[in-house]
Amino acid sequence: MKKLNTQAFTLMEMVIVLIIMGILTMAVMVFSGEQISRLQWKTVKDNISATYQDHYSQNLTSSSYAGKNYESMQLRLTTDEDRLKYHYLGNNGDSLFEETFTDRFVVSQLISDIEGLSPTAFSEVNISYSPYEISCHIGNSEASIEKIGIVFEIKEQKKYCFVIESKNCRLREVDCTNYPAWNKEFWLLTP
């Protein structure tokens, strides 16, 4: 009878393989967790941009929203709030419809382009749009503003910065590297 050559793994070899598999699993979990966080941050940023673009496009093409005619649309931005409030106003300024967009963000800073005012001068800004018009009015009870910088903070870990100019009202992402003290170069950025 032929003798079979059977070899088995030793206990030490099995333990080494399990340790290597455990290390690889931990590395994949850490990498995956970071990727998931980055994807969540990007999703929030994309949602902010898409919501703004939807309302802005709606205003450029119609004076009716949710079955009601409106005279103006207003976006209210307030620091330390986790929402964007869109108000559709009637002839006498009455609110016809309000839509609130919330996600995992906070409006952490509103920065104006007014000479002589500190970057933290505004805690609330209203952006008013008239139907079919590209331009908008940016301001509050203190001043009228040509350009506003908006910092969205996501879970106190990631910041996204945007600019809205009154001449075209587009929400444009800008580099946050100079945050929190954006200098004058911030206002010279081109789209």
How do residues 108-150 score in pLDDT, each as one tens digit?
Answer: 778 776 555 555 457 888 899 999 998 899 887 777 888 888 8
CA 140-72-127 angle, 5° bins:
30
Antiparallel, parallel or unpaired: β 64-65 and 68-69: antiparallel
Mean of pLDDT over the chain: 79
pLDDT at 158: 81
Given a cut of 70, is residue 182 above it in pLDDT? no
What b-and-e string marks burial along 88-114, b requiring 16 or more CB atoms within 10 Å of the CB? Answer: bbeeeeeebeeeebebebbbbbbbbbb
- Model confidence at 178, pLDDT cuts 50, 70, 90, reads low
CA-closest candidate to residue 130, choices 91, 172, 76, 163:
91
Given a cut of 80, is residue 184 above it in pLDDT? no
Given a cut of 50, is residue 15 above it in pLDDT? yes
CA-closest candidate to residue 131, choices 55, 67, 53, 60:
60
CA-closest candidate to residue 154, choices 36, 78, 41:
41
State the Cα–Cα distance between residues 179 and 170, nearest whole angstrom: 21
Given a cut of 60, is residue 185 above it in pLDDT? no
State the Cα–Cα distance between residues 75 and 56, nearest whole angstrom: 10
Pick the CATH number of 35-188 from 1.10.4040, 3.30.70, 3.40.50, 3.55.40: 3.55.40
- Model confidence at 105, pLDDT cuts 50, 70, 90, reads confident
Mean pLDDT calculated for residue range 92-120: 74
